[in-house]
Chain A
């Protein structure tokens, strides 16, 4: 009874800040400028299919790179001494205390023509442009979201019972067998939440592409932002479509998780 009463503020919170806005977006997406029911916003939204595809593609590639980078890193961290583990995790978190825009500007400076990256590459005789292209956007996204991949994987891995590893060794596993048959399968829940935590914000992010990308590197978040001032109905429709994509993605991820039968 008591716990029910305690949950009332949260229910109110959810109502005001989650349910009502959702309903408003939903209504807005299905109305035209005159305020009557219309599918017009959706018709216009599908003119942006290319941006959708590109957004999801960039998010997918960024997530993949994050996973490839984060998994070995998380594994290495779990092998360190307890105190070192804390320090490394701390170091990973510190950049996140800095303003988001500031970090993007830092990348602009790093990647711009005659910037540090350009200079180093030129030194080795490689000349090129490192900013205002899809690559730069992906670099920015990976930098932004890498900790969100490392942390869940690290958390799940560090909770794997040392006894299981000893049992596997006892039954004849060498180091690689232990990883393949015990550590990897048991870390899958961490991978799944890592992917979710990186893919979802990556797909809907904005500004990164505006600052680091080229003219055709528009992401759906940027499009929504640009429409919001001029055509709210359109922006709502785009948001809804994005939400559906993300929802489908989450369902697929959960199915995958269930299949592995993690207890």
Chain B
């Protein structure tokens, strides 16, 4: 509620960015409110840094409007924008000392010397670098360089500070203390911070608002609690914190079927017998005696994590992760209960499960029992099946008929890995080719935002003749 009363300071409207023909930002819309700590979170290659650079003025969108404090600033160069950036690699000026680095922006504003000195000294005290004025920046530790970079941006007194993974180069302990410090600086200075990171924990710790991005689109915007408790889809759930993400069927309002069992939940409006994704956080599962559980399973492993035990429980073919303060013996049978409120139902990322290709046979050879068809400009050869040239076909490829070619060109040489979500049994991988998306099952993890060749196993495919060739 409070959020709505705050003024919108930065607004991105229908931003579209393409580099070398590759879409980086696909018509994104985002409002950023004044005095908030906003984190743009996503895996590498999702477009989060580009979003930041658009606000900073280093990237011009192909289309769409960048609105700053009510006026359109497309085309305004970085030096004329009232924003300052803390860069990923700090980009401190190596030929200047700490004082001159921090004073850089103020000198350009032609402020009187005494005022510059006053402001820089005060700012260095804020970031805990009093007495470092004369030090060359190259002689500072990573954490100290980090503070200089923050001071250099803050001292210019901009309305908005952009931070591009500023803690990425620091070790874990330092990162944690810097997170708290940054948040504290933001609170004190009452500036709008727009922070880019791929670290979900960092995002949850510091932010007032989290923006989750993937593959050039914004998946969800919300408070850290919203994003964690009410993820809009399996990608967000998987990216934020640990989660059991399972395939389920929405039988009716408030009735969900997972792992062969019907459970009560609180979600409505998905229709009847709709396939959905279900998220249950590991800490929301209560271990019970087998006969009292809604679900039962065999404990496969128990790991002591300090605050809690983490157990892997096999439930049929599926693996479920449970975090509990009590432990159960490996090999024993346990029951599991979840309160309806903690079962989160989400629409599937893709509207289909099997990959369906409708095509026409472009070449066929009966003696070799094979045929070919065209797919997105590539010729795909199908062995061990024959259909006459010109036959219109519907080919149904289940997700396990797809594989990523380790070597060679693959049937499609260049598909983009959009997301990888572990569903307790297999990874469900969503791929994007030039014209469509594909669903693939895999037991190995793949790096998202990379390009790989895709292969089809037509022995697992179903063929359906739509129309026989004429004549």
A-side interface residues toward B, CB under 8 Å?
161, 163-164, 166-174, 177, 181-182, 185-186, 260-263
Q: Which of B78, B94, B153, B156 meets A166, CB within 8 Å?
A: B78
* Inter-chain contacts of A169 with B (CB < 8 A): 57-58, 77-79
Q: B79-98 CB contact bits vs A (8 Å, 1 = yes)?
A: 10001110101011111000
* Inter-chain contacts of A170 with B (CB < 8 A): 56, 78-79, 83-85, 87, 153
Q: Which of B79, B91, B136, B153 meets A161, CB within 8 Å?
A: B91
In the bound complex, what is the Cα–Cα distance between A164 and B88 (angstroms)? 12
Quick one: which of B150-188 are within 8 Å of A by CB? 152-153, 156
* Contact yes or no, A166 B104, CB < 8 A: no
Whether, in the assembled complex, B118 has its beta carbon less than 8 Å from a beta carbon of chain A, the answer is no
B-side interface residues toward A, CB under 8 Å?
56-58, 77-79, 83-85, 87, 89, 91-95, 104-105, 108-109, 136, 138, 152-153, 156
* Contact yes or no, B94 A163, CB < 8 A: no
Known contacts being A163-B87, A166-B78, is A171 close to B108, with CB within 8 Å?
Answer: yes
* Inter-chain contacts of A177 with B (CB < 8 A): 79, 108
- Knowing that A164-B94, A167-B87, A170-B78 are A-B contacts, what are 12 other residue pairs whose CB atoms are under 8 Å apart, sorted by A's residue number? A161-B91, A166-B91, A168-B93, A169-B57, A169-B77, A169-B79, A170-B79, A170-B84, A172-B79, A263-B94, A263-B95, A263-B138
How many A-B pairs fall under 8 Å by CB?
67
Of listed A161, A168, A170, residue having the most chain B CB within 10 A: A170
* Contact yes or no, A164 B93, CB < 8 A: yes
* Contact yes or no, A182 B79, CB < 8 A: no
* Contact yes or no, B104 A181, CB < 8 A: yes
* Inter-chain contacts of B95 with A (CB < 8 A): 185-186, 260-263
* Contact yes or no, B91 A171, CB < 8 A: no
* Contact yes or no, A263 B87, CB < 8 A: no
Q: Which residue of A lies closest to B103 (CB)?
A: A171
Known contacts being A166-B58, A185-B95, A260-B95, is A172 close to B87, with CB within 8 Å?
Answer: no
* Inter-chain contacts of A167 with B (CB < 8 A): 85, 87, 91-93
* Inter-chain contacts of B57 with A (CB < 8 A): 169
* Contact yes or no, A172 B91, CB < 8 A: no
* Contact yes or no, A172 B108, CB < 8 A: yes
* Inter-chain contacts of A182 with B (CB < 8 A): 93
Q: Which residue of B lies closest to A162 (CB)?
A: B91
* Contact yes or no, B91 A164, CB < 8 A: yes
Would you give 29 A-B contacts (Cβ < 8 Å), ordered by A? A161-B89, A163-B87, A163-B91, A164-B94, A166-B78, A166-B87, A166-B91, A167-B85, A167-B91, A168-B104, A169-B57, A169-B58, A169-B78, A169-B79, A170-B56, A170-B84, A170-B87, A171-B79, A171-B84, A171-B156, A172-B105, A172-B108, A172-B109, A174-B77, A174-B79, A181-B93, A186-B94, A261-B95, A262-B95
In the bound complex, what is the Cα–Cα distance between A174 and B80 (angstroms)? 9
* Inter-chain contacts of B104 with A (CB < 8 A): 168, 171, 181
* Inter-chain contacts of A166 with B (CB < 8 A): 58, 78, 85, 87, 91
* Inter-chain contacts of B152 with A (CB < 8 A): 171
In the bound complex, what is the Cα–Cα distance between A6 and B58 (angstroms)? 49
In the bound complex, what is the Cα–Cα distance between A167 and B105 (angstroms)? 10
* Inter-chain contacts of B89 with A (CB < 8 A): 161, 163
Q: Which of A163, A171, A260, A263 meets B105, CB within 8 Å?
A: A171
Known contacts being A161-B91, A167-B85, A260-B95, is A172 close to B156, with CB within 8 Å?
Answer: yes
5 smallest CB-CB distances across A and B, nearest first, come from A171-B105, A163-B91, A167-B91, A263-B138, A172-B108
Q: Which residue of B lies closest to A186 (CB)?
A: B95
Closest CB-CB distance, B134 to chain A, in whole Å? 11
* Inter-chain contacts of A163 with B (CB < 8 A): 87, 89, 91
In the bound complex, what is the Cα–Cα distance between A53 and B62 (angstroms)? 62
* Inter-chain contacts of A260 with B (CB < 8 A): 95
Closest CB-CB distance, B232 to chain A, in whole Å? 34
Closest CB-CB distance, A112 to chain B, in whole Å? 48
Closest CB-CB distance, A187 to chain B, in whole Å? 10
* Inter-chain contacts of B56 with A (CB < 8 A): 170
In the bound complex, what is the Cα–Cα distance between A182 and B78 (angstroms)? 16
* Inter-chain contacts of A161 with B (CB < 8 A): 89, 91
* Inter-chain contacts of B138 with A (CB < 8 A): 263
In the bound complex, what is the Cα–Cα distance between A173 and B87 (angstroms)? 16
In the bound complex, what is the Cα–Cα distance between A166 and B89 (angstroms)? 12
Known contacts being A172-B105, A172-B156, A177-B108, is A261 close to B78, with CB within 8 Å?
Answer: no
* Inter-chain contacts of A171 with B (CB < 8 A): 79, 84, 104-105, 108, 152-153, 156
* Inter-chain contacts of A185 with B (CB < 8 A): 95
Closest CB-CB distance, B149 to chain A, in whole Å? 8
* Contact yes or no, A263 B136, CB < 8 A: yes
Q: Which residue of A lies closest to B94 (CB)?
A: A263
Closest CB-CB distance, A207 to chain B, in whole Å? 40
Q: Which residue of B lies closest to A188 (CB)?
A: B95
Closest CB-CB distance, A3 to chain B, in whole Å? 27
Closest CB-CB distance, B80 to chain A, in whole Å? 8
Closest CB-CB distance, A40 to chain B, in whole Å? 50
Of listed A161, A163, A172, A263, residue having the most chain B CB within 10 A: A172
* Inter-chain contacts of A164 with B (CB < 8 A): 91, 93-94
Of listed B84, B95, B109, B138, residue having the most chain A CB within 10 A: B95
* Inter-chain contacts of A168 with B (CB < 8 A): 93, 104
Closest CB-CB distance, A168 to chain B, in whole Å? 7
* Inter-chain contacts of B156 with A (CB < 8 A): 171-172
Closest CB-CB distance, B160 to chain A, in whole Å? 12
In the bound complex, what is the Cα–Cα distance between A87 and B152 (angstroms)? 39
Q: Which residue of A lies closest to B152 (CB)?
A: A171
Q: Which residue of A lies closest to B105 (CB)?
A: A171
Q: Which residue of A lies closest to B53 (CB)?
A: A166
In the bound complex, what is the Cα–Cα distance between A166 and B156 (angstroms)? 16
Q: Which residue of A lies closest to B137 (CB)?
A: A263
In the bound complex, what is the Cα–Cα distance between A167 and B57 (angstroms)? 12
